[in-house]
Each structure stands twice: as structure tokens, then as C-alpha cells.
Amino acid sequence: MNNPLTPAQDAALVAAIRQAEVTTSGEIRVHLEDTCPTPEPLDRAAQVFGELNMHKTAARNGVLFYLAWQSRQFAVIGDSAINAAVPDDFWETTKEAVLEQFRHENYVLGLERGIKMVGEQLQRYFPYNAKTDQNELDDSISFGGPKPSSDA
């Protein structure tokens, strides 16, 4: 996959993730790939969530921003504990805030806004505890596509 981000854009997204995670035990990842291999990007986001072991955080409070940039598909998905804590319309509201910027081709700004919104909710429901919290997941942007089938 080609990285659609400049080094400065990549660094800005990682900085946004780190800033959002400063006050929470929650974990945020961004995954980019060229095209979405499933009809629904939320289904692919769930697959990537598992591939990145995001379901293995201690508090089950990981959040994934998934973007298939060439096919223009986007999803945001949270693990069970954060999903149970946030208001019912939170994921849709966050998705729409991101997509509003995407419509103006402000992709990094859209992701940064979504990351900030998620960070605020994570801070509210999963505040940082200096004695117990650690960064459980890599903050870097992940790239790729579906893993090749072993049947081939």
C-alpha cells in the first residue's frame, strides 16, 4: 500500500493520538489502506481491530479509526467497555464530524477532530491512573490491506 500521508501529516496524527491518550487509560489507533475489501467499512474495521490486538487492552477501551482512502470508506469502532460507556449516538456523531472535514478534503484535520472527540470521552470514562496505566498499543499509524488467504 502507498502511504497517502506526508511525514508531517503522519507525525501530526501520531501527536493527536498521544495528546488524546495523555489523560486516559484508553488506546487509539488509526489504520489506513488503499481499498476496503468488504462491502461495509465497519466490518473491515472490526477485522483490523482484531488483527491489531486492540481487544486485548486491560480495560477493553481501545478505539480504531479505519480509512480506506482510495475507495473513500471510513469507520470508527470502539471496544466493549468504551462502547458501553458513551452515549448511543457518540460513534455516529464522531463519524460525521470526521466526514465533514473529509468532504472538504481535510483528511488529517478530520481524523484529528475525531481523535480529540474520542480522547475526551475516554478521559471522562477511563481517566489516567499514573500507578497502573501504561501505553498498551503502538501509537503509530498502521497501513495495509487484507492478509492473503492461505488457500491461494
Name the DSSP class of 37: S
| Residue at 94: amino acid letter | T
Average pLDDT over residues 79-86: 96
Encode pLDDT of 105-123 as tens digits. 999 999 999 999 999 999 9
d(CA 93, CA 78): 14
Structural contact between residues 2 and 69, judged by C-beta atoms closer than 8 angstroms: no
Return the higher-pLDDT residue of 151 and 141: 141
Q: What pLDDT shows up at residue 11?
A: 96
| pLDDT 10s digits, 7-63 | 999 999 999 999 999 999 999 999 999 999 999 999 999 999 999 999 999 899 999
Any residues with CB less than 8 A from the CB of 124 and at least 6 apart, and which?
A: none
C-alpha distances in Å from residue 122, one per residue of 61, 62, 118, 145: 8, 9, 6, 28
Please state, rounded to an integer, the average pLDDT across all residues of the chain: 91
Per-residue pLDDT at 151? 46
Taking the whole predicted model, whether its pTM rises above 0.85 is answered as yes
User: Based on the number of CB atoms within 10 Å of its own CB, is 148 exposed (0-12), middle (13-18) or buried (19 or more)?
Assistant: exposed
**Which amino acid is residue 90, in one-letter code?**
F
